[in-house]
Amino acid sequence: MKYRTPPEKERNDRLSFKTLDTQFKQEAIEGLNCSPLEANALIDIVKEVYFPLLNEKSIKNIRPGQIVVQAIDLNEPAGKPIKECKFKNVILTIDNGQSDLDIRLNNGIPALRRERIKRVTREAFEQRTLLTVEDLAYKILSAGYRTITRDLSILREHGENIPLRSTQKDIGRTTTHKEQVVKLWLEGNEPAYISKATNHSIDAVSRYLQTFKRVIALTLEGTDKTSIAFLLSISKSLVTTYQELFEKYKNEILPTRRQEIENFLKHNKISQTKEAILLI
């Protein structure tokens, strides 16, 4: 006896063939000569890239004065070509209404531009992405590259830590964020405060501090800079930076911090093998 498919099941099957996913899949198979597996993968990619922009909830979240841009995912490593990096769509506030107008009227256009730099880089970071100087100059603020670079220098001179891909990921010569983290820690501040003050995650702050302690422990054991850099998989210049910071503040370090460093050295005898140092 031949099994008869229930009418309801037939209706559901027919409806499923009419879905956009099925239509897209069929177009990919016939038009692009994709296999069904490749067509399904293509559907997933399209959804991941374009659907956030088409999502009704996301659109409602954008208010006047905001834009949607693509920024590099926070987890992308330094040195990875930008064309190979993962990007995410983020919402940034270009015009903050009366607040921006007041800054422009009272302090001028350069001050407003620097305020916008602080705001959009913070918003991008909070959405787990990092902007570049090029993003700020060409895509967001329509300003000259040198103008943005000059603004960033002024902001840093005033103690502002701007989260950019170049500073967060050690691209180029900028390592001031690590110096700031270590300095704040040596002054007695806790990771939660340092995280907020430097726009870094607590995990990143903890990682910097652990590396600093390891550098100093090896230094106090008499290990040379080249060996320290090799053992910790960091640059020789960063080793020098941490050593100079320790020398600069060693007479001002809080007793609790000095004790912490001494305990770290005491409880973690370091041998000259990469495997050993990584376990500390």
Give me the pLDDT at residue 143, please: 92
pLDDT in tens, 82-121: 778 888 889 999 999 999 999 999 999 999 999 999 999 9
Copy the structure tokens of residue 31: 């038009």
Give me the pLDDT at residue 148, please: 94
**pTM of structure:** 0.50
Copy the structure tokens of residue 26: 């069929």
Give me the pLDDT at residue 51, please: 65
Estimate to the nearest angstrom the gap between the alpha carbon of 46 and the chain centroid: 24
Give me the pLDDT at residue 53, please: 60
Burial of 52 (0-12, 13-18, 19+ CB in 10 A): middle
Give me the pLDDT at residue 88, please: 87
Give me the pLDDT at residue 131, please: 92
Give me the pLDDT at residue 199, please: 67
- Give, in order, the Cα–Cα distances in Å from 263 to each of 30, 56, 242, 250, 255: 68, 55, 18, 16, 12
Residue of 213, 222, 227 lying closest to 257 (CA atoms): 213
pLDDT in tens, 13-25: 555 554 667 778 8
| Chain length of the chain | 280
**What pLDDT tens digit does each residue of the chain (280 aa) get?**
444 555 566 655 555 554 667 778 888 888 888 888 888 888 788 777 666 665 545 555 788 899 988 898 888 887 778 778 888 889 999 999 999 999 999 999 999 999 999 999 988 888 888 998 999 999 999 999 999 999 998 988 877 778 888 776 544 444 456 777 888 888 888 888 888 777 677 777 888 888 888 888 888 888 888 888 888 877 788 888 888 888 887 777 777 787 777 777 666 555 444 444 444 4
Domain boundaries, the chain: 59-168, 176-278
H/E stretch holding 166: helix 165-168
Copy the structure tokens of residue 8: 């309801």
